[in-house]
Amino acid sequence: MSALLLSSPERMYRVRVVAPKWRADEVLAALQRAGTLHVKGIEAALEKPAVEMRIREIEGLAKALDEILSRAMPSPAAQPPVPPGGLETILSRPFEELKSRAAELAAEFKERLDRISALEGELRELEGLHAHLARARGLLGLKLRDLSYEGEYLFSMLIAAKAETLSGVLDGLGGDLLLHESFEDPEGGATAYILAKASARWRLLPELEAKGVEILRLPKEDLSAGDFLLRLGERIEALRREISKIEEEFKALVPDWSEALILKSAMAWELDRLSVLARALETGHLTAIEGWIPESGLRATSGELEPLGYAYYDYEEADPGEEPPTKLRNWIGTRPFEVIINFFGTPKYTEWDPTPITAYSFAIFYGMMLGDFIYGLGLILAAELLLEKLVDDPSAEGFKLFRNLLYICGGTAMAFGILAGSYLGDAYEFFGLRGVLGPIVRQLSEPFSLIVVSLGIGLIHVNVAHALSAVRGIREGDRAFAIGKAGLFTAELFGIIYIMHKFFDIKLLPFSADLHSQMIYPALIGIAILAASLIKQNGGLGGMLWIFELTGLMGDVLSYSRLAGVGMASFFLASAFNQMAAMAFKGISGAIPGIAGVALGTALSILVASFAHLLNLALSCLGAFIHSMRLCFVEFLPKFYNGGGRPYSPFKAKLSGAATLTRG
């Protein structure tokens, strides 16, 4: 889902910091300076199995890096190029960052390393077999099936070992051995062909293996030993070429092999530290601090903890089944509206964050209902000059977001005021400026047209909520729910076309009247799909719930008429107060002749207009806020959003917004 409509919370990591108990205050101070840790708890000790598991993980990475280096280094004596900034610059990076890079490198080459390992295992086996078979040159003319024979009375096979070992073994076989022939080489190796009683086979085999004798596994083929030896040689050469090719690929894929060498050094240093930690755990003098850190805070946390030297820490991404705190992640234009979402309910870690689409909705609703240029400007000035005097801590993040929200709402009210031609209501008419400041969009200044616009906005807004709920149903695998929403959309679309034509004689499509009349049938099909879906979800009761779905949809859309109602109320009250001010001026200036009457009339009219408009401004700002929240909280969000998460609250130093100074 696009982040322009719905965003997702920032990725969170579970963190554990371990330090000596007498250093706990210093570690807490470092974490407070970092200001990123949502504290989960402080424990007296760390379990040794967790450290041992960490040791095994790092050892696995070190082994993988060592294998990569054995393939990628130009030569064992080669010196790596000095990295920019020196070795210390690389190793000063957070260890978890280095570990992640080592894991990426190991995963990238795992398939090739596994392939080489398998090829080398096969190569060693074939080279051994080739050497043993080549030694027995007097047998190369025999068939493989004769050299490895298993009959009812006799069996034969080839065995190999050191010459002195093999000689002693053959002498000890006694009467079970019917025939044998040995072949030795100058290096002291020996291969022997033996023929023995079949009844002694299962006793002899374990004895031979226990004495270090290798039994040669030959395929039972109608092939001479000499031809098989040639085939072995060809396969051995093919394996060597393939291994060499993969190793060359390694060198091409790891041009900066010094990085792997540095990462291996980092793994070795961490293993040393972990081994010391494992020994320290046995004394019971450690404290563990657990919590959650967002991805954006990992570097800051590492930057505070690394210089301490005595603090061990590690982190890993939250598991799917966990519920870490939620840190919302929205662009600067929509972030202030996180206040509204948190008021409804913080998103769960795995849930959508509807802040973006709620921001657009709330700002438009508020602007339509306040809908006056001067009132919008007044809201912005009040937020800038007065709001911080009403709170204890103006530096709090929540206060800053709320004030920015009011700035945005004031701006939209000013924009709608320009479009509707509302400046303290119709005050411009008293100054003869109607032609200059009149409405630009007539639909926003005429009551009936404004109601139609409001209902149109409601129809779109409610259907967006239903569409998002259908998408959620698909994501969660609830097909019946998603199909029901499709039925609702079908019934709604064709039903509106049919009703507008049947009852209001309005054609919404460029088709004939007869075709408009036929729209009732797809609408009924949509109702049937909706009813079937509800029956699937709720049993027999679902056979009636479709009625409430349709009437609920109508009620939700009609609820948006408040956009017009509240907006017109603000405008007409402002206009009425303008008339009151004008009446006050006319009454005083008419009763008291001359300039004194004009002056007193002007002063009284300004006093009346100021008080009345300030009252209307306060009521209109509050009313627009409440009704905008109502439309988002009742008609919109509950259809696809649950909330219920925990807000991310980092442990950090806070500066009080005020201080009292006394002089002694």
pLDDT tens readout for residues 137-180:
888 888 888 888 888 888 888 888 888 888 888 877 777 788 88
Q: Which residue has the higher pLDDT, 437 or 272?
A: 272
Q: Which residue has the higher pLDDT, 546 or 330?
A: 330
Per cent of the chain over pLDDT 70 is 88
Share the mean pLDDT of the chain. Answer: 83
pLDDT tens readout for residues 605-634:
889 889 999 999 999 999 999 999 999 999
Return the amino acid letter for 611. F
Q: Do 294 and 36 contact (CB within 8 A), yes or no?
A: yes
Residue-level pLDDT at 434: 57
**Residue 411 and residue 481: Cα distance in Å, rounded?**
39
pLDDT band with cut points at 50, 70 and 90 for residue 53 = confident
Closest among 448, 488, 449 to 466, alpha carbons compared:
488
Per cent of the chain over pLDDT 90 is 22
Its CATH class, for the domain covering 125-240, is alpha beta
Cα Rg, the chain, nearest whole Å? 42
For residues 87-115, b (16+ Cβ closer than 10 Å) or e, as one string?
eeebbebbbbebbebbeebbeebeebbee
Residue-level pLDDT at 61: 85
pLDDT mean over 184-212: 86
Q: Which residue has the higher pLDDT, 288 or 653?
A: 288
pLDDT tens readout for residues 472-494:
888 888 888 888 888 888 888 88
Residue-level pLDDT at 117: 83
Q: Would you say residue 33 has pLDDT above 70?
A: yes
pLDDT band with cut points at 50, 70 and 90 for residue 310 = confident
pLDDT mean over 408-418: 94
Most confident option among 44-53, 233-242, 529-538 = 233-242
The two structure tokens encoding residue 549: 């779905």
Q: Would you say residue 405 has pLDDT above 90?
A: yes
Q: Which residues are CB-neighbours of 594 under 8 A, at least 6 positions away? A: none
| Three-state DSSP state, 162 | strand
Q: Which residue has the higher pLDDT, 580 or 177?
A: 580
pLDDT band with cut points at 50, 70 and 90 for residue 661 = very low
Write the DSSP string, 356-413.
HHHHHHHHHHHHHHH--HHHHHHHHHHHHHTGGGGSS-TTSHHHHHHHHHHHHHHHHH
Its CATH class, for the domain covering 8-45+284-325, is alpha beta
Residue-level pLDDT at 660: 37
The two structure tokens encoding residue 209: 């293996």
The two structure tokens encoding residue 274: 């972990």
pLDDT band with cut points at 50, 70 and 90 for residue 367 = very high
pLDDT tens readout for residues 65-121:
887 777 666 555 555 544 444 445 555 566 777 888 888 877 877 777 788 888 888
Most confident option among 302-316, 358-372, 383-397 = 358-372
Element (H, E) at 206: helix 201-210
pLDDT band with cut points at 50, 70 and 90 for residue 256 = low
Q: Would you say residue 412 has pLDDT above 90?
A: yes
Q: Which residue has the higher pLDDT, 524 or 69?
A: 524
CA angle 649, 651, 655 (to 5 degrees): 100
Q: Do 109 and 68 contact (CB within 8 A), yes or no?
A: yes
Q: Which residue has the higher pLDDT, 32 or 94?
A: 32
Q: How far, rounded to the nearest angstrom, does the alpha carbon of residue 184 sit from its chain's CA centroid?
A: 67
| 157 DSSP assignment | E
Q: What CA–CA distances, in Å, run from 209 to 121, 196, 418?
A: 20, 16, 97
**Residue 213 and residue 190: Cα distance in Å, rounded?**
10
Residue-level pLDDT at 135: 87
CA angle 253, 256, 260 (to 5 degrees): 95
Residue-level pLDDT at 48: 65
**Residue 278 and residue 290: Cα distance in Å, rounded?**
18
pLDDT mean over 219-246: 87
Q: How far, rounded to the nearest angstrom, does the alpha carbon of residue 392 sit from its chain's CA centroid?
A: 35
Q: Do 194 and 170 contact (CB within 8 A), yes or no?
A: yes
pLDDT mean over 543-556: 86
**Residue 262 and residue 265: Cα distance in Å, rounded?**
5
Residue-level pLDDT at 416: 93
Q: Do 358 and 341 contact (CB within 8 A), yes or no?
A: yes
Count how many residues are written for the chain. Answer: 664
Do 8-45+284-325 and 125-240 agree at the fold level? Answer: yes
Instruction: Give the phi and the psi of residue 221 in degrees, each rounded to 5.
Output: -120, 160
For the chain, the structural domain boundaries read 8-45+284-325, 125-240, 328-455+562-580+621-648, 478-560
Question: Looking up tokens 């001479």, which residue turns up?
Answer: 224
Q: Do 612 and 581 contact (CB within 8 A), yes or no?
A: yes
| Three-state DSSP state, 315 | strand
Residue-level pLDDT at 662: 37
Residue-level pLDDT at 268: 82
